[in-house]
Structures are given as structure tokens and as C-alpha cells.
């Protein structure tokens, strides 16, 4: 929920009666508690209008609540002598140049000027980078889009999950066909995951793949069977694809 970016709403998460206090309190009482939390506060759009925000303005507010969460979790670990993971879901483009060729957005926070992904990876244990695409390779594929985050994680010794989308396309919520493997189905999902795992298996910070989300994954159909030799022969489209359904994953 983007509403938590605003300073007046931070207490709903990190206040004495906030959500984080409830979770950490539960863990203090029960040995078989939660393994950690994942924050999916998204500061880059306005929740009321859907319009993009200026990260140079709202970014520090977002980083502040993330810093408060990190501090509370660190104290919880010391007091209870148990591990508790703090993870954040982040978009792949935090550290990338703009479509117009502009430099990656730099955010001023705590005396440091850096990209948002750098700031966040200093605060959390792990990130799930939302590299939502329906192709693994290529300049706009999952592998290329995940690489900048992996490089920062290696510098800062943090963990990375690569997240894929399985929901049915719904442009109203920004889920377009090229962002989800819904059309490619389970077969396409398995192909893409296999290529990602093969590419990153030797990277020590790579911790696997996250799928969004459970309900749509259960409903995911097998998907189109693809003759992998067609592409090498230069065949991109077939009669079966004439309806506009894409042949390739």
C-alpha cells in the first residue's frame, strides 16, 4: 500500500500498536513463529491517482520507514537470539537509466546520494526483484533486467529472489501480456525458470525464484507447446498465432 510512504502513516507499521509490533510480539511468544517479513510498500506511484511519483521527494520518506523496520528487526534478533529475515519487493528499474537516456534516479538519504536499489539493499537482508517479463533472454528479458540488482547485492552481500508474474493480463492494474507468463502457461513458466536458474546458479547471492501469485499459479494452464527448433530456422509466427496469441515465450 503506497499510503504507508507518508510519514503520518508510518506508525501503522512501526508504531507501538503497528503491524510490525504484532508480528514481532507473536514471534517473541512462540518458537515456531514467522521466518521474516516482506515489505511491498511501493513509493513510485500515487495510490489515489495511479500517477507516478517523484522519487526524489517521496523516496526519503519511504527509506525512512524501511530503516525503522530494519532497526526494529535488528533489536528483535538480539533480544530473542533468533534469525528473522527482512525482505523487500522492488522493481527492476530502480537503478536503470530512463527511457529517454537520462541517468538513474539518485536519492538523497542519511547523508548518502545513491539509487533507490542501493539504499534498500543496505537496509534489508534480501530483495525479490520484480523482473516481470515473459521472456528470459534478450535486452528486455528477465535475466538482463535482474542483472543490475544482482551486481549490487554481490557488493553488499545480500540475497536476491527473482520474481515472475503468473496473473491473467489486466491492463487496468498494469498487468499486460508481456509482463506475465499467463499465456505461456506452466510449460512456458518452467522453460523460463529453467533458463534463469541455469544462468544464475553460480551466483552466490541468487536464492531462487518467487512467483506472483499463489491463486493464479494454481489456475495456470499448461500453455502452448512450442517446437524449439523453429526459431533456429527463422520461423517466428505460425498459422496458430494468427489470432495475435504469441507463439514464443
**How would you write the pLDDT of the chain (249 residues) with one tens digit per residue?**
899 999 999 999 999 999 999 999 999 999 889 999 999 999 999 988 889 999 999 999 999 999 999 999 999 999 999 899 999 999 999 999 888 888 999 999 999 999 999 999 999 999 999 999 999 999 999 999 999 999 999 999 999 999 999 999 998 888 999 999 999 999 999 999 999 999 999 999 999 999 999 999 999 999 876 666 765 666 555 544 444 444 443
Can you give the pTM of this predicted structure?
A: 0.88
What does the longest C-alpha to C-alpha distance in the chain come to? 64
Beta strands 112-115 and 206-212: pairing type? unpaired
d(C-alpha 16, C-alpha 205), whole Å:
34
The total number of residues shown for the chain amounts to: 249
Determine the pLDDT at residue 95.
92
Task: Tell me the torsion sign for CA atoms 19, 24, 28, 34.
Answer: positive
Give the DSSP per-residue string, 88-138: EEEEGGGGSPPTTSPPPPEEEETTEEEEHHHHHHHH-SEEEEE---S-SSS
Amino acid at each position: 500500500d503506497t499510503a504507508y510512504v507518508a510519514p503520518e502513516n508510518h506508525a501503522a507499521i512501526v508504531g507501538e500498536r503497528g503491524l510490525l509490533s504484532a508480528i514481532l510480539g507473536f514471534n517473541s511468544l512462540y518458537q515456531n513463529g514467522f521466518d521474516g517479513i516482506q515489505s511491498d510498500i511501493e513509493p513510485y506511484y500515487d495510490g489515489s491517482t495511479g500517477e507516478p511519483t517523484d522519487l526524489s521527494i517521496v523516496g526519503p520518506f519511504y527509506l525512512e520507514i524501511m530503516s525503522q523496520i530494519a532497526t526494529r528487526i535488528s533489536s528483535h534478533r538480539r533480544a530473542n537470539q533468533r534469525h528473522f529475515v527482512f525482505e523487500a519487493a522492488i522493481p527492476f528499474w530502480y537503478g536503470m537509466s530512463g527511457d529517454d537516456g537520462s541517468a538513474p534516479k539518485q536519492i538523497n538519504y542519511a547523508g548518502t546520494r545513491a539509487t533507490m536499489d542501493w539504499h534498500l539493499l543496505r537496509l534489508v537482508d534480501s530483495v525479490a526483484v520484480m523482473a516481470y517479463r515473459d521472456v528470459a533472454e534478450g535486452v528486455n528479458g528477465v535475466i538482463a533486467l535482474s542483472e543490475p540488482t544482482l551486481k549490487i547485492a554481490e557488493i553488499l552481500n545480500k540475497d536476491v529472489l527473482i520474481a515472475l508474474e503468473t496473473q491473467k493480463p489486466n491492463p487496468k492494474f498494469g498487468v499486460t501480456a508481456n509482463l506475465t507468463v499467463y499465456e505461456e502457461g506452466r510449460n512456458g513458466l518452467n522453460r523460463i525458470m529453467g533458463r534463469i536458474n541455469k544462468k544464475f546458479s553460480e551466483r552466490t547471492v541468487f536464492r531462487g525464484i518467487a512467483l506472483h501469485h499463489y491463486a493464479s499459479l494454481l489456475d495456470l494452464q499448461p500453455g502452448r507447446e512450442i517446437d524449439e527448433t523453429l526459431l533456429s530456422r527463422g520461423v517466428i509466427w505460425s498459422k496458430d498465432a494468427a489470432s495475435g496469441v504469441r507463439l514464443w515465450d
